[in-house]
Every structure is written in C-alpha cells, then in structure tokens.
A and B are shown apart, each in its own frame.
Chain A
Amino acid sequence: MHFTPGSRSLLAARGGIGRSIAERLRDAGATVFVWDLHEPGFDGVSFAKVDVSVAAQIERALARVAEASGTVDILVTTPASSA
C-alpha cells in the first residue's frame, strides 16, 4: 500500500467506521478533514460541522478545505444512518 506523503483527505463521516478510517489516514501521514454533524472525539484532524446532504453547507466547508490544503486527494463518504 502506498500513499504519497502529505496526502489530503476529506471524510464526510459519521459513526465508528468513519472514525476508524480517519484515524488510520491520520496515522499514515495524511492531512485529514472530517465533516460531520458531531465533533469527532479524537485528535489530529480538522473538523467542520456539515450536513453533507446540503449543497450550500458543502460549498462553504470545501472553500475552507481549499484554503487550508489546496486540494483533496482522498474522499471517503460514510454518512451512516440506520433508518
């Protein structure tokens, strides 16, 4: 498995699976942005409160990611809901 050093990842995430992926990407050296309705309970990632089904919220949050990081290399979408 190979990652370009300094990969920039964005996780539209919720729940335990999203958290585990975010932590592993962080530990692999990626810059990790997490979008969720709830604060993640772990360190080393940038968090923004975003409802990922709402375009206007995505646009605002993505502008901040672009400012901080330039681009996104990895996108993981895990909006877990059991309903």
Chain B
Amino acid sequence: MSTSVLDFDPAEWRRSIEVNLMSFYEVCRHVIPMMKRSGYGRVVNMTSIAGKEGSPFRSAYSAAKAGVIAFTKSLAKELADTNIRVNAIAPATIDTEILLQLSPDDVRALIQKSPMKRLGTVEEVAALALWLCSESCSFSTGATFDVSGGRAVY
C-alpha cells in the first residue's frame, strides 16, 4: 500500500507502527524473561531495507522498521553479558505473495534497483535466519544483516 505522508489516514499510520514496531517490543518483553531464566536465547527480528532507505509513500512502515533496527541494538546491548543474542535481518524485495499487491511495472522497478537485477528468495532469507538462530551466532549481537542482492549501501 502506497500513500504519501500528507494523504495517510492517521489511524492507519498508527496501526502500522503497532504491527511493525510495537509487536517486536511486546513479544520480546514477554519472551526474554524466559530466556534469562534458562540462560540462553537467540532472537531474530525481521526488519526491512525500508528502515534504512526510507521508502517513499511507505512512511509508517519505513519508520517502524527503522525503529526495529534501533530497538534490536538497544536490547542486544542490554543483554550482551548474557548468552542471549539479538539480531535483525533487513531484506530488500523478496519474492513473496506481498508482491501480488503491486503492479508488474512496480515489481520491475524494484528489480531494477537491485545490483543483482533479481528478487531475493524466501530460502535465502531463511538460510541467514537459521544461522542467526543457531549457537554458531555467538559474537554477533545488535547487528542488522542485509539480504539485498547488493542494494544496501550501509
């Protein structure tokens, strides 16, 4: 859904922040006490390249996803002296059913933004997520990992 900042329904903007930012806070604040009691945890938060770039006409989503990136850093630092690691993944455009909401021209424009000139696959995102969920991810925390085909520049 694409709407300019000035045309956005304020209630919808707020709802987007609820779904795309508050949900991370709510789930983490409930689940992490369990991990602290057991002394182990791996947390992976799905953000988006929109949170780094600020996508036009997707201001609420972009703001929420930027919030997830910063929230991930804060939480990771608070837990750094435990065996709980907290990281985020920032995909660019991935080939999922969400793309069906876009016109073919819009999808082509998104592909053109990619240095690899293709969409990412859910398998490519899942492969990274699995590593971040594993005990092998021991010295990385508070980080946001790109899956962007080279599009992300920082």
User: Which residues of A pack against B, CB within 8 Å?
Assistant: 1-4, 9-10, 12, 15-21, 24-25, 28, 52-55, 58-59, 62, 66, 71-83
A83 touches B61 (CB 8 A): yes
Chain A interface, >50% SS class: mixed
Nearest B residue to A82 via CB reads B98
Chain B contact residues: over half helix, strand or loop, or mixed?
helix
* CB-based contact B101/A82 at 8 Å: yes
Q: Which of A24, A55, A71, A82 contacts B61 (CB 8 A)?
A: A82
Whether B44 pairs with A17 at a CB distance below 8 angstroms is no
Alpha-carbon gap, A21 to B123, bound state (A): 8
Check B27 for interface membership: any CB of A closer than 8 A.
Answer: yes
A-B pairs under 8 A by CB, number: 133
Name the one of B16, B26, B34, B94 contacting A71, with C-beta atoms under 8 angstroms: B34
A24-B126, A25-B130, A83-B1 as given contacts; A3 in contact with B27, CB under 8 Å:
no
- Complex CA–CA separation, A60 to B153 (angstroms): 41
Cross-chain contact A73 with B41 (CB below 8 angstroms): yes
Pick 5 A–B contacts, CB within 8 A, sort by A: A1-B134, A20-B123, A25-B133, A77-B24, A80-B98
Name the interface size band of chain B: 35 or more
State A53–B23 Cα separation when bound (angstroms): 4
- How far apart are the CA atoms of A73 and B133 in the complex, in Å? 9
Name which residue of chain A comes closest to B127, CB basis. A24
Checking A55, A74, A80 against B133 with a beta-carbon cut-off of 8 angstroms, the contacting residue is A74
Task: Return the CB mask of B4-37 against A: 1 if under 8 Å, else 0.
Answer: 0000000010011011101110111011101101
Q: Which residue of A lies closest to B41 (CB)?
A: A73
Closest to A78 in B: B46
